[in-house]
């Protein structure tokens, strides 16, 4: 993700210098930056879950009993996994149609399916990270692990 962010920043600075200093530019820079940003966000979703970098609002769950909080976590996990399943399905259809069409990106000589192929992969990664993050919450603890 650092490489993608650095690449986008450098490419944007080069494009601005070329445009305003030399009155020229790179035709493909906007499209490359857009696809790079999409990859960054899509991969960053699962990374954010892994590192617990996403905002967590525990206003409701902190008021619930332990069992209620676990039930709430289960519902949230089920909703997140359902969303991931829908996105994996829909994005797989999208990428498959792009593959069948055989179209290239507008300014980049690469097939569009290759550039958008990260979508189903990213949502599978997100689903795996959601399950991984939810296991400690959903796993019942032994009585010895309970605080006294």
Strand partners, 104: 111
| Extents of the domains making up the chain | 2-140
Count of other CB atoms within 10 angstroms of residue 49 = 21
- Summarised one tens digit per residue, pLDDT across range 12-67 is 999 999 999 999 999 999 999 999 999 999 999 999 888 887 777 777 788 888 88
Rounded CA-CA distance 75/81 in Å is: 10
pTM of the model: 0.82
Q: What is the pLDDT of residue 141?
A: 67
Q: Cα(first)–Cα(last) distance of the chain, in Å? A: 43
User: 88-97 — which CB contacts under 8 Å span 24+ positions?
Assistant: 88/120, 88/123, 88/124, 88/127, 91/116, 91/119, 91/120, 91/123, 92/120, 94/119, 95/119, 95/120
User: Of 46-55, 85-94, 96-105, 113-122, where does mean pLDDT reach its minimum?
Assistant: 46-55
Task: Tell me the three state secondary structure of residue 24.
Answer: coil
């Amino acid at each position: 993700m650092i490489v993608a962010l650095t690449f986008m920043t450098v490419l944007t600075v080069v494009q601005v210098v070329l445009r305003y200093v030399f009155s020229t530019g790179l035709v493909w820079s906007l499209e490359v930056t857009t696809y790079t940003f999409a990859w960054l966000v899509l991969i960053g979703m699962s990374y954010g879950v892994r590192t617990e970098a996403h905002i967590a609002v525990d206003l409701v769950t902190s008021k619930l009993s332990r069992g209620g909080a676990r039930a709430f976590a289960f519902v949230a996990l089920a909703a997140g996994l359902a969303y991931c399943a829908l996105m994996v399905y829909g994005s797989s259809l999208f990428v498959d149609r792009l593959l069948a069409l055989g179209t290239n990106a507008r300014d980049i000589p690469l097939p569009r399916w290759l550039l958008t192929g990260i979508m189903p992969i990213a949502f599978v990664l997100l689903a795996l990270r959601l399950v991984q993050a939810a296991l400690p919450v959903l796993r019942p603890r032994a009585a010895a692990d309970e605080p006294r």
